């Protein structure tokens, strides 16, 4: 494949990706939100590995409604 053909193919692929992103912007937004949520969760998990462990009872105290 010549350099000119590679450039033309690259441009076609770029345009196709752009078109898919525009036509499916809601789906792309949802996907991006999911990816960002996953990244945030992984960061929190890593932070949690560096902190002191707590008992199940301590956790449940925070989850149960105050009376």
Report the alpha-carbon angle 56-61-67, nearest 5. Answer: 155
Let me know: does 16 contact 23? Beta carbons within 8 Å.
no
Structurally, how many domains does the chain consist of?
1
Enclosing domain of residue 8: 3-63
In this prediction, residue 67 carries a pLDDT of 65
> Is pTM beyond 0.85 here?
no
DSSP assignments along 21-60, one per residue: HHHTHHHHHHHHHHHHHHHHHHHHHHHHHTS----HHHHH
In this prediction, residue 20 carries a pLDDT of 87
In this prediction, residue 35 carries a pLDDT of 95
Backbone φ and ψ for 4, nearest 5 degrees, come out as -65, -40
Which residues in the chain come in under a pLDDT of 50? none
């Amino acid at each position: 494949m010549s350099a000119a053909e590679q450039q033309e193919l690259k441009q076609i692929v770029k345009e196709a990706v752009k078109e898919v992103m525009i036509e499916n912007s809601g789906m792309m937004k949802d996907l991006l939100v999911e990816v960002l949520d996953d990244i945030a969760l992984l960061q929190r998990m890593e932070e949690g590995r560096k902190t002191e462990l707590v008992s199940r009872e301590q956790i449940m105290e925070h989850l149960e409604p105050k009376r």
